A and B are shown apart, each in its own frame.
Chain A
Amino acid sequence: MTMSKDKDVLLSAKDLEISFGSGKNKFVAVKNANFDIYRGETFALVGESGSGKTTIGRAIMGITPTSDGDIIFNGEKINKPKLSNEEKHNLTRKIQMIFQDPQASLNERATIDYIISEGLINFHLFKNEKDRVDKVTQMIESVGLLPEHLYRYPHEFSGGQRQRIGIARALIMEPELIVADEPISALDVSIRAQVLNLLKKFQREDNLTYLFIAHDLSVVRFISDRIAVIHLGQIVELAETEELFTNPIHPYTRALLSAVPVPDPALAKQKKLTVYDMSVHHYETDKPKFVEIRPGHFVWANQQEEDLYRNRLAKAHAH
């Protein structure tokens, strides 16, 4: 969907580094991160547990400080220590988050009405009480719940319903970017579909942009326009979804894709798992960088690998 339109960059990360601790306890969780997220697209971040996905999401939200590089949102650098109150205010509104665990992310003692309204109240985004009630009622209906649900408490809802409440709470702020960190991992298969369809619907209607963090690659393939693969804090490959699935080039991406289960007994039984071995890289003198190997397809590689990958891709595309 993004390719047909002119690409309007909503957010970019430039040489981003995020570290925890300092001195000899310094741990670099994310390094050399470079990517653009286009307005209206779903940009997915995938990779194994501990690779730095949530850390990137939290840095964009301004929760985790960055140690180097830039995060640019709507043309303005947002990862700086001293944001004016107005800037902060603006960002909290424009960038919203949906969490993995609908159980833990809702205040158990607040009514659904309050939970959904909280942002409106904090940011004075309504004219009068009637306006607030109208907004909340419209919102709850658009996520497929009923106005009568407003006066109930989170524990009275199922996991899928709670996740809808989380979505309503984020969307009522009319954000431009939503960071969705594993929004469906905790949900049942049948409920997953409902929530994904809902996210898609809002994207179509409001031109919303999603940073979608997940480890289920079959879902990622369905929902995202472009995918960045991250391994131990390093983005190793970035491409449009179909390009990544058909022509994965970095050995880690290939290993990751080989691990995705195929829901077909005959094929699943033949399937071979490729294990990623970092010792295939020789980065001692020939240093790697993030290179655009085909238009829109980036890979972390040194010169020698770049030549090899270009050859391979040329062959694959010749077929």
Chain B
Amino acid sequence: MSDDAKSILSVKDLSVGFKVRGRKLRAIRNVSLELHDQEILAIVGESGSGKSVLTKTFTGMLESNGGITHGTIDYDGKRLSDLKKDKDWIGIRGKEIATIFQDPMTSLDPIKTIGSQISEVIIKHQGKSAKEAKKLAIDLMARTGIPNAADRYNEYPFEYSGGMRQRMVIAIALACRPKVLICDEPTTALDVTIQAQILDLIKELQKEYHFTTIFITHDLGVVASIADRIAVMYSGQIIEYGKADEIFYNPRHPYTWSLLSSLPQLATRGGELFSIPGTPPSLYKDIKGDAFAPRNPYAMKIDFEEEPPMFKVTETHYAKTWLLDPRAPKVEKPSLIQNLHQRFLDMQASDAAAKLEMGGGSDDDE
């Protein structure tokens, strides 16, 4: 979060490939990333850009047709990229680095009570007695916002709503007291009210338990409310990263520009929504130059020929685009995303949200 941030997980020049019916697909191409202690790092990018594959390598969860083809991952003195067998991962996966997926039902056992599933994890990972574990489990359920937790301890997953189930998945993940929590689109299937509650919950628990979070999503609204830093992925690479403010207010990569431009909040009613023309390149082929070039209205000749390096914008902000080369012509970001903050301020001023904050929400009589 701060500039002197300590790195807790370090990825260097990582590549990941999959074999699909005799053909090779390159899902991750030479990615480097430092995860800072106790930060919330958001990873954004369109479907298929490699967000899930990248984070699966941190827990050794790649499907069997895939593997790391190059590079290293280091965590707490251990070289994770060297671990091969499932038993090498014991003590790390779930314990030190835990993952929450989009669909809570894939992580809950439908035939065991919610409470027993949390207790089990506490007994296993924290070495507590059954009685102590139950007490801790009820406490954790209450902390994650389940009313009457003690009474609901013995209920089954089907008796919980979707939002409550997802909170229980978070409770189970946190029962192991992980150092790193990977949230892979945990709120995509939920409606806005529950989504907002879960985001608040993660932020609150992080303050209390001091873990580090990687948050994967394609919803930029969610990103803005939760992220300290943001990494933007495109076609298997991180093409820009920086503090949340830097990515929203001073984005440098044309793909990040497009992503921000497609925010529905920026469209005028009756007008068109901005949409990125074309499709991402095939990952089966060798990608030459900047992968985004064919869809990039600002592309230069060199974008089709040579892959750009990461250029430094500030100490904390980097972008992989030739536009940052000193020889490049000066190109302004699209007018739609200029003065983003002012636009939203104006919008909010005229909207109810502002009125609510000014104390208008006092229907609660007496």
Contact = CB atoms under 8 A, between A and B. Distances in A.
Interface of A: 1, 48-50, 158-159, 188-194, 196-197, 200, 215-219, 221-222, 241, 245-248, 251, 254-274, 276-277, 280, 308, 312, 316
A222 B273 contact: yes
Nearest to B196: A259
B20 to A, nearest CB: 14
Contacts of A241: 269
A159 B365 contact: no
Interface in B306-336: none
Contact of B265 (A190, A218, A248, A269): A218
A248 B352 CA distance: 7
A236 B289 CA distance: 54
Contacts of B357: 270, 272
6 contacts: A189-B219, A221-B265, A251-B361, A262-B344, A267-B344, A273-B200
B192 interface: yes
Contacts of B287: none
Interface in B237-292: 244-245, 248, 258-260, 262-265, 267, 269-270, 272-276, 279
Nearest to B357: A272
A191 B272 CA distance: 13
Nearest to A225: B269
B270 A1 contact: yes
Contacts of A276: 193
A263 B263 contact: yes
Contacts of A264: 224, 248, 340-341, 344
A221 B192 contact: no
B196 A261 contact: yes
B365 A265 contact: no
B148 interface: no
A261 B345 contact: no
Contact of B191 (A1, A215, A272): A215
Contact of B344 (A193, A263, A280): A263
A24 to B, nearest CB: 20
Contacts of B220: 189, 263
B218 interface: yes
Contacts of A258: 196, 353, 356
Nearest to A224: B269
A189 B222 CA distance: 13
Contact of A197 (B193, B224, B258, B275): B275
Given A190-B46, A273-B200, A219 B264 contact: yes
B121 interface: no
Residue among B161, B341, B363 with the highest chain A CB neighbour number at 10 A: B363
B190 interface: yes
A1 B271 CA distance: 12
Contacts of A48: 191, 193-194
Residue among B193, B221, B344, B350 with the highest chain A CB neighbour number at 10 A: B193
Contacts of B197: 273
B348 interface: yes
A217 B262 contact: no
Given A193-B273, A263-B248, A280-B363, A257 B221 contact: no
Contacts of A255: 193
Contact of B192 (A190, A200, A261, A274): A261
Contact of B352 (A1, A196, A254, A262): A254
A194 B272 CA distance: 9
A259 B218 contact: no
Contacts of A219: 264
Given A158-B279, A261-B192, A262-B224, 4 more contacts: A190-B262, A258-B356, A261-B221, A263-B260
A65 to B, nearest CB: 26
Interface string B200-222: 10000000000000000011111
Residue among A251, A268, A277, A316 with the highest chain B CB neighbour number at 10 A: A268
Contacts of B267: 222
A247 B333 CA distance: 34
A237 to B, nearest CB: 12
Interface string B355-366: 111001101110
A246 B351 contact: yes
Contacts of A277: 364
B269 A221 contact: yes
A216 B192 contact: yes
Given A260-B221, A261-B219, A247 B161 contact: no
Contacts of A193: 262, 264, 273-276
Q: Which 3 A-B pairs have the closest CB atoms?
A: A261-B221, A193-B275, A268-B225
B352 A222 contact: no
B192 A217 contact: yes
Contacts of B364: 277, 280
B330 to A, nearest CB: 26
Nearest to B244: A265
Residue among A196, A218, A251 with the highest chain B CB neighbour number at 10 A: A218
A245 B348 CA distance: 10
A312 B276 CA distance: 43
Contact of A259 (B195, B274, B351): B195
A24 B117 CA distance: 33
Given A188-B218, A268-B224, A194 B344 contact: no
A257 B353 contact: yes
A200 B222 CA distance: 26
Contacts of B43: none
Contacts of B341: 264, 266-267
B168 interface: no
Nearest to B218: A189
B262 to A, nearest CB: 5
A48 B340 CA distance: 29
Contact of A190 (B221, B248, B275): B275
A245 B355 CA distance: 11
